[in-house]
Chain A
C-alpha cells in the first residue's frame, strides 16, 4: 500500500531523510573501498568539503529568506586577493596578518551591504542584484591584479589552509564552528526566527513588526562574510591570491543547500540539512575517486544524485 509508506516518509523531518541517504552512502563506500573508512580519508573529506560548506552555511540564511546569492564565487577570489595583497604590504608581520584577515572579511561583508541595499531599497530581485555583483567583483579581482596571481606570501599564512590542530585540518575546524554558530543563530535567536518569518511570508512578517529590510540586509552580509572566510582559506591552501579562484562555486554551494532540504522559495530548511548536503556531495566525490571513477563520469553521478535527493524530498511532501 502506498498510503502507509508516504505517511511514514512524511514523518521524517527534512534532515532525517537526507541523513538516512548520507548514512547509506557512507556504508556503501565503506564496503566498496577499504581505504574509505579510515581517519585519514574521512578528515580529508571534511577538508575538501570545508570551502564550499562554509559558504553554504551563509547561503542557507539567504535562501531561507527566499533569496539567492550568486556573488559568492567571485567574493572567494576577491577576498583572497585583498587578504594576500595586505599580507604583502610593508606592515609588520602580525599586524599585517590580522589586518589581512579582517580586510578580507570586511570586503565580503561590504559586498553584502551593497547587495542588500539594492535588494531592499529598489526592490530588485536578489538573483539580478547578485548576478551583477558576481560579475563586478570578478572583474575587480582581475583588474586589481592585472590577471596575475599574488605569490610569495609569509609562511605563517599557509597554516590556516594547510595546518592541523590535534590532527584535524584547520579549515574543517572553522567549518564546524561556522555550522554550530549558524545553527544556534537560526534556531535560538530572534534574528533566526525573523529569517524564517521573512522567507515564509514577508508581508505578514512586516505587519508583525519585523523590520524586514534589516533582516534581508543581514543575511547578505553574513553570506558575503562567510564567502570571504572561504576565500581566505582557499588562498592559504593555494598559497596565493588568484583572481580566477572560486569560479562556479555558487552552483556547488546552492546544490549543497538544496540537497540539504532547504526550499528555494524560502521559509523552510536548516543548516544541519545543508551540512549533510555538503557532506553527501563531498563523500560521493571522494568515494568515486577511491573507486578510480573518472571525473567525467563523476559529474554525471553527482548531477544525478542532486536530482534524486530533491526528488525524494518532493515525494515525501
Chain B
C-alpha cells in the first residue's frame, strides 16, 4: 500500500478575464520533499500558490491533503490545514518584537484573562527558532532585523502554527550568498521534520542545490515534472522556454569609443574615493557583495544621494547633479533595483510609466500630446515585446519581466548617454533575461556607456567587457572581461584594502 502524498493538486484551472492562467495543472508534494516550481514570468506559478494559500479561488480542480479532499476558500482554511506561504514581501509588523510577530494572532494568554502571557510567548517563539537552529533574540524589534533574519522569523511563524506544507516564493532574492546558505540549512532542517516544501526560484543553480523534484510550468500548463537528478540546467531551460537557447549570455565584441564617463575620487558617506572610467560602447559590470557600495555609487552618480567630494565628468564636462532631475538632464539614467518600489507607479498605465521621465519632449504648448505619448508607448511595446501589448493597462497587472521592460522603455526613450542598470534581471525569467542582455548589447553598439550592477556573477562574467569590483564602499579591483574568472572577482569582492 502506498502512502497518499501530503498534497495532491489535480486539474487546477483558473481563468482570468481574457487569460487562462492555469489550465488543468497537476502538482503533488510528499512529506520531507522539496518540490521546485519553475517557469517564465506569467507561467502561472504565483497563481498556483495563491490558490493553495486560499487567497484565490480555482475554477476547476481538486486539492487533497493527506488523501482527503479539502476546500481552500479562505487563507484561514489553508492555515488550519498546515499550509503556509512565505511571500517575497514579508507579512511582518515592523514595530513588534520577534516573539510578538511569531505568535501574532496566536498569543498565549494568562489563564482565562485577556492578558498575554509574555513568558510563554517568548518560550514558544524561541522554541520555533530553535527548531531552525537560529539564534535571534525574541525581544528584538523586527524593524531592527536584517532581511535574512526577517525571513527566518517568517518561517518560524509558520512553524509555530504547525505548518506541514510550506511554499516559498523567490526566498533568496533579497539574500546574500552566505544568507542563502543559511536558508538552505533551514530548508534541510525542515525536510527532516517532514515538512513538504514548494520552492519557487528563477535561480536555477539553487534548484539543483536544494530540490528533490521539479515541475516546469509554461503558459499556464504543466510541461514537465521529474526528479532533479534526471535533468540538467540546459534541459531545464529548454523546458521553460520551449526552445533551445543557444547561449545564455550573448556577448558582443567591444567597439571602444571615446571616454564618456570619468569618476575622480568620488566620495560620499558610504563611499571611499572611487576612480573609474567608462567608454562609449562599453558594458562595465559592478560586482561585489550586497552592501559593497555598488548601489550607493549609482545613486551618487544619479544625484539621488549626496557626494562629499570628488569629480564626475560626462563627455568631458564636469557635472555635479544634486537631484535625479539634474542627472537625467545631463544624460545619466538609472534603472533602480526593486522596480516595484523605486521604478514604477503601479496605478499608472504602461504608457504613463514609459513617458514619465520624458514628458517634456511630448509637450505641445503646455499640454501633453496624447498622440505622441501613445506613439512612444506603442513603439516600445512592439520593440520590447511587452505583454499584453496594450498601452492602457495598469502596470500593476503586469508580470515581473514585463514590468522590467516598462522601466527599460522609460530609459531607452530618455536619450541617456550613460545608463546604469541596478540588478536588471532580478526576479526575471531566462527568456526575458536574454532579451535584456540583447538590449544592453544594442545600447552599447549605439555608443551608450552601460554600467551593470548585479549579484549574479555568471551574468556579469557573461556579458561585461570589464568588471569593477567593490567591497565596503571601495573599488578594490578591475577585472578585464577576457581574464575574468569567478575567483578573480570574488578575491576583490572580499578584499579589505585597509587591513
Contact = CB atoms under 8 A, between A and B. Distances in A.
Interface of A: 7, 184, 188-190, 193-194, 196-197, 200-201, 203-211, 267-268
B324 A193 contact: no
Contacts of B304: 206-207
A161 B352 CA distance: 40
B305 to A, nearest CB: 11
Contacts of B334: 207
A189 B366 CA distance: 6
A197 B345 contact: yes
Interface in B362-384: 363, 366-368, 370
A200 B346 contact: yes
Given A193-B359, A196-B352, A211 B345 contact: no
Given A201-B345, A208-B356, 19 more contacts: A188-B367, A188-B370, A189-B366, A190-B360, A193-B352, A193-B356, A193-B359, A193-B368, A200-B345, A200-B346, A200-B347, A204-B336, A204-B342, A204-B344, A206-B304, A207-B334, A207-B342, A209-B323, A268-B347
A274 to B, nearest CB: 17
A211 B345 CA distance: 15
Interface residues of B, number: 30
A207 B336 contact: yes
Contacts of A208: 324, 356-357, 410
Contacts of A197: 345, 348, 352, 356
Contacts of B325: 209-211
A188 B347 CA distance: 17
Identify the 3 closest CB pairs spanning chains A and B, nearest first: A200-B345, A209-B328, A190-B359
A208 B358 CA distance: 9
B288 to A, nearest CB: 21
Nearest to B343: A204
B342 A203 contact: yes
A260 B327 CA distance: 38
B341 interface: yes
A194 B342 CA distance: 15
A49 to B, nearest CB: 28
Contacts of B347: 196, 200, 267-268
Contacts of B111: none
Contacts of B356: 193, 197, 205, 208, 210
Interface in B385-424: 410
Nearest to B368: A188
Contacts of A201: 341, 344-346
A314 to B, nearest CB: 16
A107 B367 CA distance: 28
Contacts of A203: 341-342
B349 to A, nearest CB: 10
Contacts of A268: 347
Nearest to A200: B345
A139 B347 CA distance: 40
Interface of B: 17, 302, 304, 323-325, 327-329, 334, 336, 341-348, 352, 356-357, 359-360, 363, 366-368, 370, 410
Contacts of A209: 323-325, 327-329, 357
B372 to A, nearest CB: 13
A208 B302 CA distance: 10
Most buried by A among B328, B336, B360, B367: B367
Contacts of A207: 302, 304, 324, 334, 336, 342-343
A211 B323 CA distance: 8
A205 B352 CA distance: 12
Nearest to B327: A209
A206 B324 contact: yes
Nearest to B363: A190
A182 B101 CA distance: 46
B240 to A, nearest CB: 30
15 contacts: A7-B17, A184-B367, A190-B359, A193-B352, A197-B352, A201-B344, A204-B341, A204-B342, A204-B343, A205-B345, A207-B302, A209-B329, A209-B357, A211-B325, A267-B348
Most buried by B among A197, A203, A207: A207
A132 to B, nearest CB: 26
Nearest to A211: B325
Contacts of B302: 207
B369 to A, nearest CB: 9
A193 B353 CA distance: 10
A183 B348 CA distance: 17
B342 to A, nearest CB: 5
A190 B369 CA distance: 10
Nearest to A11: B17
Contacts of B17: 7
Contacts of A206: 304, 323-324
Contacts of B344: 201, 204
Nearest to A213: B323
Contacts of A184: 367
Most buried by B among A7, A188, A201, A209: A209
A189 B359 CA distance: 9
Nearest to B359: A190
Nearest to B364: A188
Most buried by B among A205, A208, A211: A208
A186 B348 CA distance: 14
Most buried by A among B342, B356, B363, B370: B356
